Structure 1
Amino acid sequence: MKKIKAALLSYGMSGKVFQAPFLELHPGFELLGSWERSKKLIQEDYPHVKSYATIDEVLNSEAELVVVNTPIDTHFEYAKRVLEAGKHAIVEKAFTATLAEAEELAALAKAKGLKLAVFQNRRWDSDLKTVRQILLDGVLGEIVEAEFHFDRYNPLLSPKVHKETVNSGSGVLKDLGPHIIDQALYLFGLPKSVFADIRTTRENSVVDDWIDIVLFYPEIRVRLKAGFFVREANPAYVVHGKKGSFLKYRGDIQEDELKLMKKPNLTDWGTEPLDKEGFLHTEIDGRIMHGKIPTLQGNYYDFFDGVYHAIANDTEEPVTAQDGVNVMRIIDAAIQSNAEKRVVEL
């Protein structure tokens, strides 16, 4: 198996929790190291790798793939430099701060014949995989509406300064929003129009921290919500069809396990506890089905495996640059809708 040399542009939470463990696990990648500005931590976890002092060191290294996992407002600048250096890229969500930036990066990667993937790892959550299978099985009949939540109870401001200061990448719309927006587009495609209500609810907050977005399809309505004052969780996924309904509370364990420094594997990784199973109430062949449904296994490894094959075998990226552009189209439309208090056509 061809080894693809990879490097990170940051070893904060994203690099430590979501990126490095899977690059190390996959036999097709060789983790070279990470750009570290102040704290030098990566060698504590991976003694064989390098801590790069500057981005130029990364770009001049042997790395063939660079993960742009820095603050959102830097994604465009750094991803553009990575592509111009002739290297493939994974860019964390939100892909960019604006739609124009996303379109420029997608065009640049295409012009240079490079692979550009957006790190929408939540497509490989156990929750979303199960919802998708329910839709593929058609057991709900024609879908009428869906509602996705990414809620938390956390009234305190983040200690991460870039998340709580006004900049082109701050706010929950571009932090948690891309997860549920991408999931909606993954399952239902691009809508015809968008309506959004965007608010600031936490004391002393200067960035948006509550969103309510409605995606209008010809026959379906999809509602996306995220906020920081949900002490009693709503179901993360609610889908209603003309034959039945499916409800699923958020139960994917991967992030929590990774934060505990547990190493991912290819056997039982991403297996939810049974008490998190979703609830299906529908009619199948004249028989009423009313009960819990086993949850599919999640594993972010599959994203990295898709990136590997995209580079090694010239297949399509698991989440394409165009997917990232489409999410930014929704975000731009949501900002316009909130400002103008109207439905915005795409």
Structure 2
Amino acid sequence: MTGSSPRPQPEPSGSAAPAGTPAPALRVGLVGYGLAGSVFHAPLIAATDGLVLDTVVTTDEERRAAARTAFPEVRFAASPQELWERAGGPEALDLVVIASPNRTHVAIATAALRAGVPVVVDKPIAGTAAEARGLAALADERGLLLSVFQNRRWDNDFRTLARLLADGALGEVQRFESRFERWRPRPKGGWRESGDPREIGGLLYDLGSHVVDQALTLFGPAVLVYAEADVRRPGAAADDDTFLAVTHANGVRSHLYVSATAAQLGPRFRVLGRDAGYVKYGLDPQEADLRAGLRPAAGRPWGEEPEELWGRTGSGESPHTGGGTPVPTLPGDYPAYYAAIADALRGRGPNPVTALQAAAALDVLEAARRSAREGVTVRLSPATPPHASDL
């Protein structure tokens, strides 16, 4: 289910394990083997105890060859429909992961749920909050897990900041600044940079999905949204330099930046509290390691960064001059997401990221898109999140 306590799913297909022996691994189908599928989902699924990457859906021969090299036992399908045809049979899947282009997420997730298969969807789950809530309702109706892959909740800096806030190390937080900036002066092309609204491209819905989800996770519901979205690079068709100002119901103000045009990168986090601040530079290393072909494995350090990259806490001091107190960065832990999914499927834990949480982030993204287009500040009502009105 979409809430915090998903209904236990049926045991994996095949004969039941004898008493006292481990249950058979849950079989996973992966739809899409582009960047998201090959770099993030496939390696993390394969590294998770209790999960096995069973089938990859792609018709691209180069991607099939790459998947076969990385996972020699994997099978292939030409379309998601082939997965649904296996439902209820001896080769039925226990989970389908949707890592295909954004425009396909809703249709494939709907088909999977109607076929009785639990689902993980890469962010953004949908183009609108209404579509996300529709999927949540369908999953609830069918009693199936529906989760959204918001891996940045397991970034090293985010985990460290969450610990600082839980410990009260900064006092009452007044402003949260979060930057996900890159220097990519030339567009790469592809659907992610398409100006076609049907593709759900652009940085607002790409990196913006991460920074908004993190802000809501830390500081709760948003009530006001203001945004500026620009297309800066020659030849670009979708927003590539975007800013959001979010006021949370508890009074915290989040200033969120996503950009492909940042010639000088700002701090990843700058958090200002009544008693102290926290400043952290640099990105979590897990994405770079996964792109380089490194894989999480038991007994091997993962998600760790060197001491010189640790953030600092303090007041009235600049981290550039060594001011403040270094804060050891907790290791990043992307594998924790799929470990939680395995537990949720077996009824041993909650859904780590629900569709309704993703819908709340989409409320903010939709409001930001409207704000940038119309030049207004948009008010969100927590009681009626799908709608917004001008101040």
Common fold by TM > 0.5:
yes
In structure 2, distance between residues paired with 1:258 and 1:162: 20
Q: Secondary structure at the match of 2:346?
A: helix
CA contact (8 A) 1:79 1:91 kept: yes
* Contact preservation (8 Å) 2:225, 2:247: yes
Is 1:329 the counterpart of 2:363 in the alignment? yes
The answer as to whether partners of 1:90 and 1:118 remain within 8 angstroms in 2 is yes
For 2:204, what is the secondary structure of its paired residue? helix
For the pair 1:278 / 2:311, whether they are aligned, the reply is yes
Picking from 226, 236, 252, the partner of 2:284 is 252
Identify the match of residue 227 of structure 2 among 182, 187, 196.
196
CA contact (8 A) 1:251 1:276 kept: no
- For 1:210 and 1:181, the matched residues in 2 are separated by 15
Q: Structure 1: where are the runs of 5+ without partners?
A: 284-288
Deviations 1:231-256 (A, max 9, x none): 22100101001111100113311111
Q: 1:148, 1:236 within 8 Å by CA — same for their partners in 2?
A: yes
Other-structure match for 1:286: none
Confirm or deny that 1:55 pairs with 2:96.
Answer: no
Match runs of 1:104-143 below 5 Å: 104-143=134-173
Q: Deviations over 1:49-71 (max 9, x none)?
A: 10111211122232110001111
**Following TM superposition, by how much is the alpha carbon of 1:95 offset from its aligned partner in structure 2, in angstroms?**
1.3
Say yes or no: does 1:212 pair with 2:251: no
Cross-structure match for 1:170? 201
Is 1:236 matched with 2:273?
no
Please state whether the residue corresponding to 1:192 is helix, strand or coil. Answer: strand
1:92 partner letter:
D
Q: TM-score, normalised by structure 2?
A: 0.84
Measure, in 2, the Cα distance between the counterparts of 1:292 and 1:162. 37
Q: 1:296 aligns with which of 330, 333, 337?
A: 330
Q: What letter is aligned with 2:38?
A: K
- 1:22 CA displacement: 1.6
Report the AA paired with residue 104 of structure 1: G
Cα distance in 2 for partners of 1:165, 1:333 equals 18
**Alignment partners' CA distance in 2, 1:314 and 1:87:** 18
Secondary structure of the residue that 2:28 maps to in structure 1?
strand
Give the conservation status (yes or no) of the 8 Å contact 2:170–2:274. yes
8 Å contact kept, 1:43–1:51: no
Amino acid in the other structure paired with 1:241:
G
Which one of 255, 263, 275 corresponds to residue 223 of structure 1? 255
Larger Rg over CA atoms: 2
Cα distance, 1:282 vs. partner? 4.5
- C-alpha separation in 2, matches of 1:209 and 1:22: 29
Q: Calculate the TM-score normalised by the size of structure 1.
A: 0.95
SS in 1 for 2:197: coil
Unaligned runs of 5+ in 2: 1-21, 87-91, 317-322, 381-391
CA distance in 1, matches of 2:283, 2:309: 6
User: Amino acid of the residue matched to residue 9 of structure 1?
Assistant: V
Please point out which of 77, 81, 93 is paired with 2:107.
77
- CA drift at 1:138: 0.7
CA distance in 2, matches of 1:251, 1:225: 14
Say whether 1:11 aligns with 2:45.
no
User: Aligned partners of 2:278, 2:287: CA distance in 1, in Å?
Assistant: 24
Q: Paired residue for 2:55?
A: 33
Percent identity of equivalent pairs: 32
1:256-287 CA distance string (max 9 Å, x none):
1111111112441111122210011149xxxx
Residue number among 246, 253, 261 corresponding to 2:293 in the alignment:
261
Q: Does 1:45 align with 2:79?
A: no
SS in 2 for 1:102: helix
State the distance in 2 between where 1:14 and 1:280 align: 34
Q: What CA distance in whole angstroms lies between the structure 2 residues aligned with 1:254 and 1:212? A: 25
Q: How big is the shift at 1:311?
A: 0.8
3-state SS of paired residue (2:343): helix
Q: Deviations over 1:306-330 (max 9, x none)?
A: 1111110163210111111111111
Q: Distance in 1 between matches of 2:185 and 2:120?
A: 31
Kept after mapping to 1: 8 A contact 2:192/2:202: no
CA RMSD of aligned residues (A): 1.5
